[in-house]
Structure 1
Amino acid sequence: MLPRELRITRPQDFRRVLRGGRRAGRRHLVVHAVATPATDRPVRPARAGLVVGRGVGPAVTRHRVSRRLRHLLRPRLEALPAGTDLVVRAQPPAADATSAQLGDDLDAALARLRLTD
């Protein structure tokens, strides 16, 4: 579980990231990112939100994918610049992906967005 301060929970924050941010797509997921300028808010840690829709599979499968993504996101959030908001959208192939595959796609997407090395 991600601590509350590391989660995006408000619908308007999800919309802001999905509509106004940059994105990088991979086979199993799409990562949307937006950096909040330091002048808008006090410095806060990077946050993440997940979107795992019905296209991924039934509820059990969606929850399994969500758990894997949360587990993979936690250490990566610490490495991101403060004030960064991420939304990770799982694609239908994520249902059959291993944690290693999801982690590789997440790392590749973050690198493409130039958020990590």
Structure 2
Amino acid sequence: MLPAAARLTRSQEFSLVVRRGRRAGRSRLVVHALRTDQARDPGPHRASGGTSPAADANTAPTRNSDVSTRVGFVVSKAVGTAVLRHRVTRRLRHLMRDRLAALPAGTLVVVRALPPASDASSRELGADLDAALRKLRILAPDVPATGSR
């Protein structure tokens, strides 16, 4: 189980990470990641001053994300029945719990499971997760893959 401080819980947080973060896809999952310095940095479309500060409040992180790395999971009905979806979510949660310490502080991560994840073992999901995190450059190449049994 992930500690409460390490969970993304609000839909605004999920959409912020998916919309403004970087993405790395694998055959069984897609990982979206957003560093907090990216979340606060106004993009080129905001540099013109076309939006009000109140509109920018909707895209700012909703909690003090400088403190810890937070993770959320998206497992749609396309993955399978409720039993399969919950099994995939539990496996991904366990794998991410082991990797939290290796991620930069304040990183927001959304892991989206794809339909082939329902047939995958924890080892295969862990390998895909490590590959995606390394591609996003938020997991160092020399960090051992923990928890990928």
Quickly name the TM-score band, shorter chain normalised: over 0.9
Q: 1:42: how far off?
A: 6.4
2:116 maps to 1:93: yes
2:93 maps to 1:70: yes
Matching residue of 1:54: 77
SS in 1 for 2:37: coil
> In angstroms, what is the RMSD of aligned CA positions?
1.6
Q: 1:55: how far off?
A: 0.3
SS in 1 for 2:73: strand
**Greater fraction of residues in strand:** 1
The 4+ residue runs of structure 1 with deviation greater than 4 A are none
Percent of pairs identical after alignment?
A: 59
Matching residue of 2:102: 79
Q: 1:45: how far off?
A: 1.0
Partners of 1:116 and 1:88 in 2: how far apart?
15
SS in 1 for 2:23: strand
TM-score scaled by length of structure 2 = 0.75
Segments of structure 2 that go 5 or more residues without pairing to the other structure are 41-63, 141-149
Q: 1:43: how far off?
A: 2.5
Partners of 1:24 and 1:85 in 2: how far apart?
14
State how many pairs are aligned.
117
Q: 1:75: how far off?
A: 1.5
**Greater fraction of residues in helix:** 1
Segments of structure 1 that go 5 or more residues without pairing to the other structure are none
